[in-house]
Structure formats: structure tokens, C-alpha cells
Amino acid sequence: MSHAGHRIASRVNWAERLPPGPCVLVGEHFTPMDAELVAKFVPGRPKTIGAGAYLKHIPANPNVGPNMLHGDVTDPGVQSQLKEALAGGNKVCVLIDAHLTKGGDIPQLIAALQIGAPIVPIYFDGPWSNRYKEGVEDYLLPRRGDLPVSLSIGHPTDAAGYHAALLALESEVWMARKRDLQPLSFSMVQRLREDPDKLALADPVRGDVSRIKALTGAVAIARAMRKRWGEQKRVGILLPPSVGGALANMAAILQGRTVVNLNYTTGAEGMECAVKQAGLKTVLASKQFLRKGNIQPPANVEVIYLEDVARGIGGFAKLKALLAAKYLPYRSLLSFAGALREASMDDDHAVIFSSGSTAEPKGIPVTHFNIVSNIEQAARVLDLDEHDGLIHMLPFFHTFGNFLLWAGLHWGAAMYFLPNPLDADAVGAMAQKYKATILVATPTFFQIYCKKCTPEQFASLRIIVAGAEKLPQPFAARWLEKYGVPIWEGYGCTECSPVVGVNLPDYRDQRGSLNGGVGRPLPGIQIRIVDPDTREPVKRGEPGLILVKGPNVMRGYLDAPEKTAAVMDDGWYTTGDIVKQDDDGFLIITDRLSRFSKIGGEMVPHGKVEEALHAAISSTDQIFAVTSIRDEKKGERLAVLHANCTHEIEFVLNELKGQGLPNIFIPKPRDFVAVEALPVLGTGKMDLRTMKRIAEERLNGG
């Protein structure tokens, strides 16, 4: 198959599912090659109809043109031709423009055809980047190479069952992609060699680093670390979001090793716990970073300093690294860099430790398949490409920080690093200097930026995403009013590599976002919402425990089969989050299961109480944080930490009582605890464990 001068491999998956007789194939049109795939792989030269916006991209192909119908599916003339084809025992194909809603209107569409033939969901896949593109040149981003375009066939169903059958097929397709995908090292080398003088990385210390210089630096560090890393499969890194930190991660990936970025906000004890769990022997750190951050490195491991490694790389070694980066074939480059092995898609690229906000941190191995799948799932629905520039100030030990590092390298976006996400002045200056287009942070960080950063500094931003904790809607409205670009709220967790869903820009006449929601699940991700106790599915619109399955979901926790068994069942991960899904497929996070108190036998959601407290004083800033403590009579009772509250607690409670909450949702005056600052993890999330400890100490005496 060829198009616009490109020779493109193609194939069909699960063709045996096609019924022998007449049927209606229905799927989202996605690229200019879709109709050609149908003509090539579906026997009987089926009649095909697509939306008008799609028809202009149909290639001039003798196998397609004569069988491509022009018009609307409700047009009597078109319906007549489709029915005639079905009556003659043939197959017909309807290509729908339903990129965001997953064909939710199919029952009405099929009803318009007034047919009784089986309906077969179909799914198109290939090397294009996302559905906002037009033209084959854009469709070939971000992955190049031999990945085929494909037509996949689902199980025959009826109009009522089509939506579920399409989602099931989509999940199958994304799981089957593993055979065609390449590990992170491949896309990294491929991207950095394209347009080699283009900016790849920047930070306040190193300045601007081009793509070829970035690859050269990673190769040079890898060669210098060959003996120090030896046969270690996992290596520790203790560096901030920076050019040096990125190059260290890239060097380890070139060698086929698993990276463990240590969470330096947990202190030496927390890092030593991670070192022990991961079995690390060495940690690559920076003297300057440790000194400036007053960070004590872990004591149970050999610490190697990046400054010493860099000084040991002489001029001749740099020249060899440059020549290798430019000219060596991929596998030869890996060998030159000192690779232990060429990583497979099933190998771990990183072990990321959970934040520890509610319990002891757990090690979560993330495979190349997990992270590459999740990057491409996000790229499929967000308008991302190699022309973007990303402000990267989330630490690499954080699951979103890790995702952004490899997403930037995978799709070729420039990354501008800042070591301190709390430095709003630096964030604003960096965004303005480089005309950044993408900013991802937690709501806590966004509230800091909103106070200090000017609209002029953020004028170039077009994609702004918040995750890790709930985005307060009053604050989101204030941000939109100030900057003119909305914050898209997303949802994810480390066990899902991490993105599960995200709000999106609208697509033509389809809504991509919901205020207060976290978007629809990404392509290839299945969800179930069940009763926490019975595990039976709840009705649409009712809250329940969300389970997630897909190529981005972890296999299990690091050396912890019992903990894994508690949350994994046949590939389904139990998130611990309480969620509801509306009729349009949008997910709304109600709370975490761990953020409920059982008071007198009734479940009380902390998040709902927090929202009501902030509404009581009309605050868009985080003033209150709700937790729970032991209570002899009712088992638990609510406790509220507050910082910088300018209102009397009696006034707050009076306002709270006027919001119609059940009495059990209203804390007692004695259970408000003033603190200098609400406890926050280094990732920007509220530190729930510390909140509970402070409340217990202050109210129950420890």
C-alpha cells in the first residue's frame, strides 16, 4: 500500500471473525488509508460511506473510488445502495466521525439504515500520531519505520451491543501492538537523530542542548559508567529535573538497565528503604544538588557523583561519542554505549515508588510496553507533536515526571527543566523565554503559579494538564479568566504508567471535556466501576470503585506477591478510587477509598467535606485538609487541619451548616487544628499520612 510517496505496510487482524454473509462494518475513520484497507482486506468489494470531511482525503485508488458512496448515511439514495448491497449478500462499511465519543450514536445510525444484518466493529491502527491531524505527513508522527497500518475485526453484534464490542476490540488492538513497538532506546535514538540541531533539552545551568548533543552526552555518560555500573540491572539516580538528570536516565536506558530515581523528599531513611527494596548497589548523584538541597544521600549504597564522571570524559572520548551518536547503526550504538542487552518491550525501564501518601511506599516496575503504550495513548487523543515545548519541573521519581521525560523524547518535544516546581518566578520566566506550549503540574503547584505568573509569561501555552489530586473548580475558573487557556484535569496512578483519562479539546462538534471530570479513558484502556464490597457493577452514573485494565497497567509490585494479589485480578487493577461515569463516558472522581471515614457505620468522604469548607469561605486556595482520627464512641471522627484561615472557626461552621450537609459530615469545633502549612509531598500531593499523624498527636495525644 502506498500513499503520498510513502510505501506503507498493511495487514488485517482477526479476519476470521467476519460473518460469511452480509453484515455492516462500522468504525471510526482515522486516516486517508482507512477506506483502502477495507477495500483490500474485506472480500466482496463492500460499499463504503464516510463523513464529508473524510472524503476529501480519500486517495485516488481504483479499488476504493467506485465503491465509495458520497452523501449522508441518512440520505435515501445512499440507504438504498447500502440495502441493495446487503440484499445481494454483500458487506457494507460505514466510517463514522466519532473520535471522542467512540461511536456512542451508532444505535441511532443503524436505526436510520433500518437493517437487520449483524454489525461488526472495526478498528484502524498505524504509525500516525493523533486524530487532530490531516494529511499523511502528519499521520506518520511520532513513530516512523515499518509499523504497519492495520484493520482489526471485532466480534459481530447488534446496534445495542456495538459500543461495548468496539471498546473490547480497541483493547485487543492495543495489547497486540506489543509485537510492533520498539523500546524507549529506539525511539529516543531515532528522534534525536532527526533534525539534529533542533533544541532538545534546556535548564538554567546547562543552557540549550541540541538533539545531537543530547544523544552524544547520553552516550558519553553511558560509556563512562560501564565499569561503575558493571552487571547491575537496576541503577539508582538521585538528580533533579535537569539536563544532567535527563542524560543520566538516557544513558541507563541505552544500556538496557532499569532506572530507579530516588525520592529525595523522603529523606535518607526513605531513600534507604527504596534502595533496599530495589537491590541497588550504586546511586548516581550530584554534589551541587545535594549541597543546595541539603540532602543527605542514602547510607546503604555507593554514591557516584556526576561531576566526577563528567570530568573523566576527555576530548577524545567526547569526539568518539559524537561520531557514534551521528553515524553508528542503532544496535552498534547500543553496543558502543556499553549495553548489557537490548531491552525488550517486557523489560522494566524503571521502578517507581508510590508516593507513600497513605501507606509505606511500594516499588512499581514499569515496562517499556507500559510506558510506550501510555505515551501513545495520550498522543492519540491530545494534539501533541514534535513542535511542542514542555516545561518539565516534576521530579523524575514521580510517575508523571517519568512519563513526561520519555514522552518528550519519544514524540520529539523540547523539554525545559527546572529543579524546583515551587519556584513560580522561574516557571513563568522559562515559559516566556522558550514560548513553551505544554505545562503539566499538580493543582497545588498551579495555585502557586496563578499568584505570581503573568498572562504574558503563559501566553504561548496551549495544553495545560493537572493531575495527582482533584482540581478545585472555582480555582479552575479563576485560572481560565486570568490566562484564557483552561486547565485540562486528568487522572492516573503509578500502577497505570500513569495516565488513565484526561479532558481534551473539543473535536468538531464533539465535547472533549467536563468541568469537574477527568475525561474519558484513553484508547485501549478498559474500566469497570463496581461496588467496593460486592464487586458487582454499579449502574451508570452511580459512584463505585474503579478497576482498570490495559497495556499500561503494571504486572505487579516489586517482590510483593501478596500486595499484588490484593489489587490485581486477571489484569484488572483495583485503584482504590471512588468514581462515577456519566452518560457521555466522562469519569468523575468522588474520592479515594482511603479518604473515607466510617463514622457510626456511615461512610463520610473527606473530599466532599473539604470542598464544602472551601465553599463556606469562598476560597479557591487550599486552606483546609480533612483527615480522621480515632474515636472511642463512633470508631472515627473527622479532623480538619487549616493554614492561613482568616475566618473564625465558628463562622466557618455556621456557613458549612447552611450547605445542607448531613450532620455527620460536619466536624466539631474542637477538631480543627491550626498549622503553619498543610503537609505536602515533594510531588505536590497532600501528605495524608502526615496529616493523620498531626491530627492524632494534637487531638488524641499521639
pLDDT of residue 134: 52
SS3 call for 491: strand
User: 548523584: which residue's cell?
Assistant: 285
Q: Which residues contact 61 (CB under 8 A, 6 or more apart)?
A: 36, 39
pLDDT of residue 595: 72
pLDDT band at 56 (very low <50, low <70, confident <90, very high): low
Read off the C-alpha cell for 563. Answer: 500486595
pLDDT band at 11 (very low <50, low <70, confident <90, very high): confident
Report the distance separating Cα 699 and Cα 542, nearest Å.
35
- Is the separation of the CB atoms in 322 and 193 below 8 Å? no
Residues β-bridged to residue 440: 465
Angle between the N-to-C axes of helices 399-411 and 368-381, in degrees from 0 to 180, rounded to the nearest 10: 70
Least confident of 203-217, 460-474, 585-599: 585-599
Query: Which of 395, 206, 240 is closest to 403 using CA atoms?
Result: 395
Least confident of 255-269, 280-294, 337-351, 621-635: 621-635
Q: How many residues does the chain have?
A: 702
Give the 3-state DSSP-derived string for 340-397, with helices as H, strands as E and coil as C: CCCCCCCCEEEEEECCCCCCCCCEEEEEHHHHHHHHHHHHHHCCCCCCCEEEECCCCC
Residue range 298-309: average pLDDT?
A: 95
Burial class for 394, CB neighbours closer than 10 Å (0-12, 13-18, 19+): buried
pLDDT of 169-180, one tens digit each?
Answer: 999 999 999 988
Same topology between domain 181-420 and domain 600-700: no
Question: What are the φ/ψ torsions at residue 459 (nearest 5 degrees)?
Answer: -65, -30
| Amino acid symbol at 161 | G
Read off the C-alpha cell for 141. Answer: 508522527
Q: Which CATH class is domain 181-420?
A: alpha beta
Helices in 147-242 by DSSP H: which ranges? Answer: 162-176, 184-193, 211-224, 226-229
pLDDT of 231-288, one tens digit each?
Answer: 999 999 999 999 999 999 999 999 999 999 999 988 888 899 999 999 999 999 999 9
Q: Is the pLDDT of residue 3 over 60?
A: no
pLDDT of residue 392: 97
Question: Which sequence spans correspond to the domains of the chain?
Answer: 2-180, 181-420, 600-700
Question: Model pTM?
Answer: 0.85
User: 486517508: which residue's cell?
Assistant: 32
pLDDT of residue 140: 46
SS3 call for 138: helix
Residue range 298-315: average pLDDT?
A: 95
Vertex 432 angle, CA 430 and 437, to 5°: 90
pLDDT of residue 57: 57
- Is the separation of the CB atoms in 684 and 469 below 8 Å? yes
Q: CATH for 600-700?
A: 3.30.300.30
Q: Is the pLDDT of residue 4 over 80?
A: no
- Is the separation of the CB atoms in 51 and 29 below 8 Å? yes
Burial class for 48, CB neighbours closer than 10 Å (0-12, 13-18, 19+): buried
Query: Which of 263, 528, 546 is closest to 399 using CA atoms?
Result: 263
In order of 420, 472, 680, the CA distances from 446 in angstroms are 13, 11, 14
pLDDT of 103-153, one tens digit each?
Answer: 656 666 666 565 678 899 999 887 654 555 554 444 444 444 456 788 999
Q: To the nearest whole percent, how much of the chain has pLDDT over 70?
A: 88
In order of 49, 78, 582, the CA distances from 67 in angstroms are 8, 12, 38
Residue range 157-183: average pLDDT?
A: 90
Report the distance separating Cα 562 and Cα 565, nearest Å.
5
| pLDDT, mean over the chain | 87
Q: Is the pLDDT of residue 599 over 80?
A: no
Report the distance separating Cα 162 and Cα 104, nearest Å.
9
